Amino acid sequence: MRASDRPSEILGVDGPFREIIEGYQVRASQQDLSDAIDAAIHQARVLTAEAGTGIGKTFAYLVPAIRSGKKVIISTGTRHLQDQLFQSDLPLVLKALASPVKTALLKGRANYLCVHRLDIAPHLGYLNKTTQHDLQLVREWSGITSTGDISELDSVPEDSMIWPMVTSTTENCLGGECDHWNDCHIVKARKQALDADLLVINHHLLLADMTLKQDGFADLLPGAEVFIVDEAHQLHEVASRFFGRSVSSRQLIGLAKDAIAEQVNDAPDMAEMREYAESLENSARDFRLSLGEAGQRQAWAQIRHKPAVKQSLEALMACLRDLSEMLGVAAERSRGLDQCHQRCMLLLQSLAQFGEDAPQSDDGDCEGTQSVLWFESWSRSFMLHATPVDVSSLFRQHTDDFAASWIFTSATLQVNKDFSHFANGLGIRDYDNGTWQSPFDYQKQSLLYLPEDMPEPSDFSFNETLIDKVRPVIAASQGRAFLLFTSYRAMHAAEKLLQGTLDFPILMQGEYPKHQLLERFREAGNAVLLGTSSFWEGVDVRGEALSCVIIDKLPFASPGDPVMQARIDAIRDSGGQPFMDYQLPRAVIALKQGVGRLIRDVSDRGVVVIGDPRITRKSYGRIFLNSLPAMPVTAEFKDVEKFFSGQVQVAVA
């Protein structure tokens, strides 16, 4: 391998990968993509690259990134993708290239054990039999781990209540005054990140660093010369969260618990602090009750003037002020107490924008950026949000600070063969773009079934008719199906209709944690899994276990969603068309993700079913169809039977 070799040559038939990967397949689309990324890196350009499923885009960007000689930051959509990239793909490419490039993995602080939090965990008041058992496992592991990365400890579930107790947040980290600073796992990880030539992070950490909220590392991003953003279609929503602000019951109750624990350790003579902290806990719970039923996601303006909400918010802020005064007196006793005092004041500032005299929207982190105030409620918790209506100028201001090349890649960036929706949403202006098609043969490997005589999605009979239509499809596929729904209500209704009518195991989202549900689905080999939005993307089931994906409706976001409504209003006020400019493109991207669950390998075969008749009856339905892989389309169930029986496909698009 010569230094002058192009990435396409390295990935080709005479390259090193054939020697180290058994069954390595050369893919022309992967080679072309890699050359395009290489050019963008060396020309310091911005590239938006839609890479179809199965191309192998990870190798396509790793080869030019490693060989560039530049400081590279790769951001992935999730922590699981981070681990896969760093522990599996990256070592293979480094071996193939015989590269000495220094690499590092960095996650958000909630992924690392905090020794100080481990010490005070018994005083936080959350412990029950299960968490006590998990705490003991964490203590044993803490003595042998070198990284503190909580993903190492498989014996404690990732959703265990112990993890928030023994990891830190931006609010409760003691910083340089912590007794364990020299042994802090997150500090060590960040030092390694600064020294690395190639760093793997995730979108949350990327945006946290951009917004300088100290969940990242102040010197991390400015030193980078290349940013590669994988699963880039997720970036807009992550940016909306990070450029906004929020207050949650978890923050408030966590502050109360921490104040009690710090008081026990460092101010035992101030027992009355416990009373103030417990009052804050109770007030947070009372405020939650004032918001009404669980499952709400509404604009704050709809409830801000209700007497119960106003009264409970005032009481909550009064409890925060009382605790803040007490902590102010005790702050000099320890860094932990001082920090609790700072958290009190910050929470008071954040809550003030939701008060009676505050405006219904305010300026965001950058001048002139309007935010929408809204809230979410669950059975025992709540969150109040201030979310920017438009993040494009905010994102552009931050990215303009870095003189670097940016590579944005995903299998779903285009809408109707156009990148404008993605680019405009992030304020990307001067950019190159390209599309690299999947190597999968969708004409032979798949079939799109659009059943006839379906009622409109708003019709009361829609769910029942859909299930009647798909029962024979599920029988033909011998189970092995995902049923993806646009709402929890529709999912539960479908589960009731299917119970007792199928000869296959039925699994439903919520019965088990997501990873366990997928394990059960794979192991069963003939199961039917019902899921909502979290199963539309980021799920990879290869082989015959998944041979059918059934989608109930086109995934338009609810117009009642407060952020959606604010953005619709802003587009309309600026003279745009909210449906065509925003609602439709978002739905197209979501549908592409859902359909993308089916074919994950060159040997996969299967049928996609879309029950929503608008895809053929409405003029915009053609945009959905044009954005999907080039699958044969049929309205005849007999073609589905032929497909699963292995007969020659006769359907035409």
Query: Domain limits of the chain?
Result: 25-102+196-242+391-436, 245-388, 442-645
CATH number of 245-388: 1.20.120
* Mean pLDDT to the nearest integer, 241-252: 92
The CB density around residue 578, as the number of other CB atoms within 10 Å, is 18
CATH number of 25-102+196-242+391-436: 3.40.50.300
The pLDDT of residue 428: 94
Q: Which class would CATH give 442-645?
A: alpha beta
The pLDDT of residue 366: 41
Q: Is the pLDDT of residue 364 over 60?
A: no
Q: Is the pLDDT of residue 650 over 90?
A: no
Position 442, amino acid: Y
Q: Is the pLDDT of residue 456 over 90?
A: yes
Q: Is the pLDDT of residue 647 over 90?
A: no
Q: Higher-confidence residue: 649 or 128?
A: 128
Sheet holding 432-436, edge to edge: 103-105, 198-202, 72-76, 226-230, 405-410, 46-51, 432-436
The pLDDT of residue 349: 93
Q: Higher-confidence residue: 157 or 479?
A: 479
User: What residues contact 477, with CB distance under 8 A and at least 6 apart?
Assistant: 547, 548, 606, 607, 644
Cα 5 off chain centre by: 36
Q: Is the Cα torsion angle 566, 571, 575, 578 positive or negative in sign?
A: negative
* Mean pLDDT to the nearest integer, 9-22: 94
The residue assigned the tokens 């019965």 is: 511
* Mean pLDDT to the nearest integer, 198-219: 75
Q: Is the pLDDT of residue 546 over 50?
A: yes
Q: Is the pLDDT of residue 2 over 80?
A: no
Predicted confidence band of residue 3 (pLDDT cuts 50, 70, 90): low
The pLDDT of residue 559: 79
The pLDDT of residue 283: 97
CB neighbour burial string for 86-108, b if at least 16 within 10 angstroms, e if fewer: beebbeebbebbebebebbbbbb
Alpha-carbon gap, residue 494 to 484, rounded angstroms: 10
Predicted confidence band of residue 216 (pLDDT cuts 50, 70, 90): very low
The pLDDT of residue 593: 96
Range among 171-185, 553-567, 630-644 rated most confident: 630-644
* Mean pLDDT to the nearest integer, 29-48: 97
Please report, rounded to a whole number, the percentage of residues in the chain having pLDDT higher than 70.
Answer: 95
User: What residues contact 495, with CB distance under 8 A and at least 6 apart?
Assistant: 506, 508, 530
Alpha-carbon gap, residue 540 to 599, rounded angstroms: 9
The residue assigned the tokens 């060396």 is: 42
Count Cα neighbours of 18 within 13 Å in the Cβ-side half-sphere.
11
| Tokens (6 digits) for 180 | 């364990």
The pLDDT of residue 363: 47
Position 31, amino acid: Q
Q: Is the pLDDT of residue 653 over 50?
A: no
Q: Is the pLDDT of residue 89 over 60?
A: yes
| Tokens (6 digits) for 375 | 């809230």
Question: Nearest Cα to 448, choosing from 330, 584, 607?
Answer: 607
Cα 280 off chain centre by: 31
* Mean pLDDT to the nearest integer, 349-375: 73
The pLDDT of residue 381: 96
What is the residue-averaged pLDDT of the chain? 92
528-531 and 481-484 strand pairing:
parallel
Q: Is the pLDDT of residue 358 over 80?
A: no
Alpha-carbon gap, residue 538 to 80, rounded angstroms: 10
Burial of 278 (0-12, 13-18, 19+ CB in 10 A): middle
The pLDDT of residue 215: 43
The pLDDT of residue 360: 52
Q: Is the pLDDT of residue 648 over 70?
A: no
* Mean pLDDT to the nearest integer, 322-331: 96
The pLDDT tens digits of the residues spanning 389-447 come to 999 998 998 787 777 899 999 999 999 999 999 999 999 999 999 999 999 999 999 99
Predicted confidence band of residue 1 (pLDDT cuts 50, 70, 90): low
pTM above 0.85, yes or no: yes
- CA geometry: angle 539, 540, 541, nearest 5 deg: 120
- CA geometry: angle 137, 249, 319, nearest 5 deg: 115
* Mean pLDDT to the nearest integer, 555-575: 92
Q: Is the pLDDT of residue 620 over 90?
A: yes
The pLDDT of residue 356: 74
Question: Nearest Cα to 549, choosing from 564, 536, 565, 568?
Answer: 536
Q: Is the pLDDT of residue 362 over 80?
A: no
Query: Would you list the DSSP string of 558-622?
Result: PTT-HHHHHHHHHHHHTT--HIIIIIHHHHHHHHHHHHTTS--STT--EEEEE--THHHHSTTHH
User: Helix (H, G, I), strand (E, B), or coil: what is residue 107?
Assistant: coil
The pLDDT of residue 357: 66
- 245-388 and 442-645 agree in CATH topology: no
Q: What are the angstrom distances between the C-alpha of 289 and each of 311, 315, 351, 382?
A: 12, 13, 17, 10
The pLDDT of residue 23: 87
Please report, rounded to a whole number, the percentage of residues in the chain having pLDDT higher than 90.
Answer: 83
Alpha-carbon gap, residue 448 to 631, rounded angstroms: 6
Contact 276, 321 (CB under 8 A): no
* Mean pLDDT to the nearest integer, 8-37: 95
The pLDDT of residue 560: 84
